Amino acid sequence: MNEFLEQLRKQVPGLLINTEAAYIAQTCTDWRKRYCTTALAVLEPLSTRQVQAIVKTCDAFNVAISTQGGNTGLVGGAVPVADNNAEKRPHVVLKTGRIREVLKLDENNLTLTASAGYTLHEIQEYAEAHGFLFPLSLASEGTCTLGGNLASNAGGVAVLRYGNTRELCLGLEYVNAQGELCGDLRGLRKNNTGYDLRHLLIGSEGTLGVVTTACMKVYPAPKSRCVAWLNVDNIQTAVDALGFVQSRLFGELSGYEWMNANAIDVVQTHFPARAPTCPGAVDHVLAEFTSLGSETALREQVTRTLEAMLEEIPGVRNIAIAQSGRDIETFWALRENISEAQAKAGLNVKHDVACAVSQLPTFHNMALNDIAEHGVDVQPVLFGHLGDGNLHFNLSAPTGSDSAEFLKQHQSLLNNLVHDAILRCGGTVSAEHGIGQLKAELLRDITSASNYAAFKAIKQAMDPKNLLNPGKLVLL
């Protein structure tokens, strides 16, 4: 494919083309190191115009493209599939991290327009420096990019109040499979002029186009913040407590995270942070409240509400309200370090599931009972964004067991049991991590024939050559 690379150099002056084997191997390895594949080259454009030229050249030479932002995904969506699709076509990785043409605020319209290559943390900081809040917040925010957030419809810890990435996006531009620039960045909240193609691109995981720029919502920055830690009997109590809080502080509640005892134990084993405890309590809840009003007023509201909850909901055993910024950091560190602590503890079977909040206790009990009935001894490390119905239902090997052998023996069965339970509860097998290549066959198997036919028709209409991210999300 020397001719292809030479043509790229001619068509895209200044394009960074890396063909070093070590760099390609690093780029083609996903964050979880589940997929270690390869590519012809790694391309790193500086502009939307360069992306257009890349796609047109790949189209002419029938070279497939995997688009990659920060490579923090958990389903193998940003690295080539192992066989580079059934046709064995050459494959390139298009990294968007150097695309930084636009970063601006429209304060009166409450919008921020940014190029795809900016990291989520950079966008948060830019908004904050101008007195605004960009509320999308993920554990990987220092590395993940806006383009990747849009492609995967990222969720995170503030969905309860502000919604997923989809709800935050008012417009985007993307390069289609023919190298044409599509979409718009007008930032309109009302616009009923035909199909809204932005919603096809958001969550499409790079299979329909390459997102290059987006117009996103921002909000006035909160003036006050209050964080509380609850010790509760079980997940049903956590759901009951959520309803109690929402009936009184719906506008102030911005995050509501649930963790079982094993999740906090594994964090405290590998990190210094310590959680408030209470005799008899099993599970934990982290609740965050924010307001445009004073810190004193917010704290009084939260304190009154939580004290009333302690009296009215028997399963709530203890409440600790953060007294300082250090307390807030400790509380959030306990929640945000669960995944890293699990990685230190060994391999585990991960599930990213969601259902209606009211169905979470049913799913939780059903899944664990089904696992027990099949005689599998597991250590459930369960946590997630209970406020929006999303749990990370992770299952580790029993203490002292070999985790690799545990996965080899039980992973397939555990996946089937958990997925079956969440579907019986009217839920989804992928809440915020996406489909990628990890769940592509599963998506096909659990989706109705008519819906999957529509998925395929959209893909074939927008990308007839299957140029963009083949082998991900929709299998042709």
Q: How far apart are CA 22 and CA 42, in angstroms?
A: 11
- Helical spans, DSSP H, in 130-260: 146-152, 159-162, 165-168, 198-201, 235-249
Q: Residue written as tokens 């690093």? A: 26
Mean of pLDDT values over 202-215: 98
Q: Are 315 and 236 in contact (CB under 8 A)?
A: yes
Mean of pLDDT values over 271-281: 90
Architecture per CATH, domain 2-95, reads as 2-Layer Sandwich (3.30)
Q: Are 309 and 319 in contact (CB under 8 A)?
A: yes
What CATH class does 224-338 carry? alpha beta
Give the end-to-end CA distance of the chain in Å, rounded to a whole number.
25
pLDDT tens, residue by residue, 159-194: 999 999 999 999 999 999 999 999 999 999 999 999
Q: Are 73 and 200 in contact (CB under 8 A)?
A: no
- Per-residue confidence band for 279, with pLDDT thresholds at 50, 70 and 90: confident
pLDDT tens, residue by residue, 431-474: 999 999 999 999 999 999 999 999 999 999 999 999 999 999 99
Residue 360's nearest CA partner among 222, 190, 240, 184 is: 240
- DSSP class of residue 387? G
In angstroms and rounded to an integer, the radius of gyration of the C-alpha atoms of the chain is 23
> Does the pLDDT at position 1 exceed 90?
no
What's the pLDDT score for residue 461? 98
Expressed in percent and rounded to 5, the helix, strand and coil fractions of the chain are: 40, 25, 40
What's the pLDDT score for residue 87? 52
> Does the pLDDT at position 295 exceed 80?
yes
Topology (CATH) of 103-220: 3.30.465
Q: Name the average pLDDT for the chain.
A: 96
Tokens of 331: 């509380």
- Helical spans, DSSP H, in 155-221: 159-162, 165-168, 198-201
What's the pLDDT score for residue 343? 86
How many other CB atoms are found less than 10 A from the CB of residue 187? Answer: 19
Mean of pLDDT values over 254-270: 96
What's the pLDDT score for residue 86? 45
Q: Are 85 and 102 in contact (CB under 8 A)?
A: no
Does domain 346-424 correspond to CATH entry 3.30.530.20? no
Q: How far apart are CA 126 and CA 421, in angstroms?
A: 42
pLDDT tens, residue by residue, 15-45: 999 999 999 999 999 998 889 999 999 999 9
Helices 325-336 and 261-270 cross at an angle (nearest 10°) of 110
pLDDT tens, residue by residue, 308-319: 999 999 999 999
- Residue ranges per domain, the chain? 2-95, 103-220, 224-338, 346-424
Which is it for the CA torsion 261, 263, 269, 273, positive or negative? negative
Please state, in angstroms and as integers, the Cα–Cα distance from residue 62 to each residue in 53, 55, 58, 204, following that order: 14, 10, 6, 21
Helices 325-336 and 338-345 cross at an angle (nearest 10°) of 50
Mean of pLDDT values over 118-142: 96
- Per-residue confidence band for 89, with pLDDT thresholds at 50, 70 and 90: confident
Residue 65's nearest CA partner among 254, 266, 206, 258 is: 206
289-308 burial code (b ≥16 CB/10 A, e <16): bbbeeeeeebbebbeebbee
What's the pLDDT score for residue 128? 98
Return phi, psi of residue 196, to 5°: -95, 95
User: H-helix or E-strand containing 354?
Assistant: strand 352-354
Residue 98's nearest CA partner among 17, 29, 39 is: 17
CATH topology identical between 224-338 and 346-424: yes
* Rounded (5°) CA angle 28-200-420: 75
Return phi, psi of residue 42, to 5°: -110, 125
Residue 132's nearest CA partner among 162, 98, 173 is: 162
Q: How far apart are CA 165 and CA 154, in angstroms?
A: 5
Better-scored residue on pLDDT, 139 or 260: 260
Residues forming beta bridges with residue 220, ordered by sequence position = 132
Mean of pLDDT values over 330-350: 93
Q: What percent of the chain has pLDDT over 70?
A: 99
What's the pLDDT score for residue 83? 67
The three-class DSSP label of residue 67 is strand
Residue 91's nearest CA partner among 3, 176, 4 is: 4
Q: How far apart are CA 178 and CA 209, in angstroms?
A: 9
